[in-house]
Chain A
Amino acid sequence: MIRRVWRVLPGPQWARISQAIVLTAVFLVVLHYFYSWLGIVLLDQGGTVG
């Protein structure tokens, strides 16, 4: 899957590397928020009541 994404990135090598870094950062941030939400739903709601 990573290879497929890499292949569709346009431009020369340096531009593809830059795009890959930005995409990876965005992916990690989205994943962080998704995992945080999932953790609150499944594991630990912070102990709040009510």
Chain B
Amino acid sequence: MAAENVFAETFDLQTPGAFPPEQIHTPCAFVSAVIPVSRKQALCNEYELIEHYVED
């Protein structure tokens, strides 16, 4: 909540609606970017930024 930008790194990117609303701990308004990575990529540091709403 306090950070200017929040990058969520995930091995398992789900489509919107996959999680029950009451089980979401960090609502999307707090997340600036989502970075899907495979476990192999995580080790190699080769990330792909697929979506971002980084503030100006």
Partners in one complex: no
B interface residue numbers (CB < 8 A to A): none
A interface residue numbers (CB < 8 A to B): none
